[in-house]
Amino acid sequence: MPRRGLPLQGRVRWLFLGLFLLLVLLLFAYLLECTPPGDVSMVPPGPAGETYGKEYYQALLQEQEERHLNRAASLKRQIAQLKQELQEVSEKLKILQEKKELPGVQGLAETKDQEPGDLLEYLHSQIDKAEVNTGARLPSEYALVPFESFTSSKVYQLEMGLTRHPEEKPVRKDRRDELVEVIEAALDIINNPDEEDGVEDDMPMQRQMYTEGHFTEGLYRTERDKGTLYELFFAKEDASSFRHVTLFRPFGPLMKVRSTSVETSGLIINIIVPLAGRVETFLQFLHNFREVCIQQDRRIHLTVVYFGQEGLQEVKLSLEKMSSEESFSNYTLIPVDEEFSRGRGLDIGAHAWNKGNVLMFFCDVDIHFTLEFLNTCRLHTSPNKKVFYPVVFSLYNPAIVYGNLELAPPVELQLIHKKDAGFWRDFGFGMTCQYRSDFLNIGGFDLEVKGWGVEDVHLYRKYLRSDLIVIRTPVSGLFHLWHEKQCADELTPEQYRMCIQSKAMNEASHSHLGMLVFREEIEAHLRKQAFKTQSKTEE
């Protein structure tokens, strides 16, 4: 038995060894079949692998080199462009600095040729933003920036505080230089007109040259985000033909906006006065009207709208007397048997005119005006374009200003712009110059308003919210004469508040009111000083 087992075990071992060798051979054959030749990965595909590989890499290198060269050329172009832009900006700043240092006329003359195009476009865009050619719609009366008016020697200003005065000489050198520069620039424009100015090209010997003596008045205002707008007027010898020059300084050199001729010889002003009672005050008004409108201007129509019957006959007789003495018939008296309403009276007066469009001046009976104001009224209004809201200089109570009413001088001598004599009535909007067509188109007054105030503010707000330009500026030739105010109990709370405010501000200046408040203290001090003086004398 043992001998038979040995051959069987040997066969099994040889069988396993054979299977193992067979598996090794199969694995080796598989590896040989799947593994590529050793130099295939080093040569690109193709029949001539080694030669094609060099051209391929040369092409790649050339492409990269061209890409870098193009990038370098692009950067060089950008650098050159930036250098050019930097040079242009430097030239602009240099030009602006030179214009700032040069006198006004030279700077204005060089603007056309030296200013770069984009800068000029920016400056003109500032003109478009400012209220030069059309009005801006404003939310309320507080949003309007008023003008300040000036002559060759005086400035009439609203913002006074406690130290400045309503009428001042331009004390600061920069203010003087600014106004002189503006006047000189305007004179240069008028005396050397362009074709666009619409002035006939007369011979130099025939053309009338303008000087500073022809300058009549000017307005200016500064808006912080735009610049300063100037309106200047020059009068010819006949005083009815004016040259109007508009200049604008958009926080840079002066720029000419336009230069036009303004003819006022045929412009009639219809002065409309609503009235109820106050006959003595009306007689004083007629005295001023006769001297200014009839004896000097003679281009005026007077419309008086009288409410009620009391005093109507006296008013009628006074108008007839003036008419016969002055040969003046351009007036209309309209009796109205209604309760007094200022807005209603002005509305009746405006609708009563039946001779086409006319320039109207809404006036109160306690207003004193000059010939210069009538010209200002004509110059600052234009149908379908501009309305004029002058700021009146309101005189204080003469009994306080002069210590006693009996010591007060005549009215003509009280018409001065002094801080203790009066103030600019910048919260009043009742006095206005506007064309009849604009008044009707805007809708006129709110006729539901009765009594004092408010109706003029409503009309003013209508114009602010329209496309018309509202000119608001203090006027040296327009005065509100003091009279005692009565605030009726029938007024609404808003009307009564405005009436009391007007009454308080109408009495006296800050210093004079202070003297009244501390009068007892002052008198006590004077008594003590008198007692000390007397005691020293007795010793």
Q: Which of 247, 263, 279 is the last residue of a domain?
A: 263
Rounded distance between C-alpha atoms, residue 219 and residue 471, angstroms: 9
In-domain check, residue 501:
yes
Spatial separation of the C-alpha atoms in residues 281 and 285, rounded to whole Å = 6
Q: What residue type is assigned to position 400 of the chain?
A: I
Q: Hey, what are 472's tokens?
A: 């608001």
Q: Would you list the DSSP string of 27-67?
A: HHHHHHHHSPPTTGGGS-SSTTHHHHHHHHHHHHHHHHHHH
Q: What is each CA distance from 359 to 193, 384, 435, 471, in whole angstroms?
A: 30, 12, 4, 15
* φ and ψ of 522, to 5 deg: -65, -45
Greatest CA separation for the chain: 178
224: DSSP letter: T
Please write down the HEC assignment for all residues of 345-407. HHHHHHHHCCCCCCEEEECCCCEEECHHHHHHHHHCCECCCEEEEEEEEEECCHHHHCCCHHH
Q: How far apart are the first and last CA of the chain?
A: 176
Whether residue 361 is contained in a domain is answered as yes
| CA nearest neighbour of 218 among 195, 242, 240 | 242
Q: Are residues 423 and 365 in the same domain?
A: yes
Q: Is residue 252 part of a domain?
A: yes
Residue at which a domain ends, from 242, 263, 284 = 263
Q: Where are the alpha helices (DSSP H) in 102-197?
A: 104-114, 117-129, 173-191
pTM, full prediction: 0.66
Asked if residue 302 and residue 253 are part of one domain, the reply reads no
Tell me what pLDDT residue 291 has: 96
Do 374 and 265 meet the contact criterion of CB atoms below 8 Å apart?
no
Report d(CA 399, CA 416) in Å as an integer: 16
In terms of DSSP bridges, do strands 269-275 and 300-307 run parallel, antiparallel, or are they unpaired?
parallel
Rg (CA), the chain: 45
Residues 225 and 283 in one domain: no
Q: Name the DSSP letter for residue 290.
A: I
CA dihedral 337, 342, 347, 349 (to 10 degrees): 70
Please tell me whether residues 276 and 225 are part of one structural domain: no
Residues 333 and 298 in one domain: yes
Structural domain boundaries enclosing 295: 269-508
Do 345 and 389 fall into the same domain? yes
Domain-located, residue 68: no
Is 419 part of a structural domain of the chain?
Answer: yes
Q: Are residues 241 and 273 in the same domain?
A: no
Sequence-distant contacts of 131-139: CB under 8 A, at least 24 apart: 131/229, 131/469, 132/229, 132/246, 132/248, 132/257, 134/467, 134/469, 135/386, 135/463, 135/466, 135/467, 135/468, 135/469, 135/470, 137/464, 137/465, 137/466, 137/467, 138/464, 138/465, 139/464, 139/465
Q: What is the pLDDT along the chain (539 residues), one digit of tens a residue?
A: 444 444 556 665 676 677 777 776 766 665 655 554 444 344 444 444 444 466 666 666 777 777 777 777 777 776 776 677 667 666 766 676 665 554 444 444 444 444 456 667 777 777 777 777 778 888 888 788 899 999 888 888 877 655 567 777 775 677 788 899 999 999 999 998 876 665 554 445 456 789 999 999 999 998 877 889 999 999 987 768 899 999 998 877 788 888 999 999 989 999 999 999 999 999 999 999 999 999 999 999 999 999 999 999 999 999 999 999 999 999 999 999 998 889 999 999 999 999 999 999 999 999 999 999 999 999 999 999 999 999 999 999 888 888 877 778 888 899 999 888 999 988 889 999 999 999 999 999 988 765 556 789 999 999 999 999 999 999 999 999 998 877 888 888 888 888 887 777 788 887 887 888 888 888 888 888 888 888 877 76
Per-residue model confidence (pLDDT) at position 94: 66
Residue 436 lies inside a defined structural domain of this protein: yes
Cα separation, 273 vs 303, whole angstroms: 6
Type of residue at 532: K
222/330 same-domain check: no
The total of structural domains in the chain comes to 2
Residues 321, 430, single domain; the answer is yes
Q: Is residue 516 situated within a structural domain?
A: no
Residue with tokens 């203090």: 474
> For position 418, which CATH number holds?
3.90.550.10
Q: Are 446 and 244 in contact (CB under 8 A)?
A: no
Helix (H) or strand (E) holding 342: helix 342-352
530 located within any domain:
no
- Residues 255 and 334 reside in one and the same domain: no
Q: Are residues 486 and 413 part of one domain?
A: yes
* Cα 311 from Cα 57, distance rounded (Å): 115
DSSP 136: P
Give the number of residues written for the chain. Answer: 539
Check whether residue 301 and residue 156 sit in a common domain: no
pLDDT at 54: 65
Predicted local confidence at residue 97, as pLDDT? 61
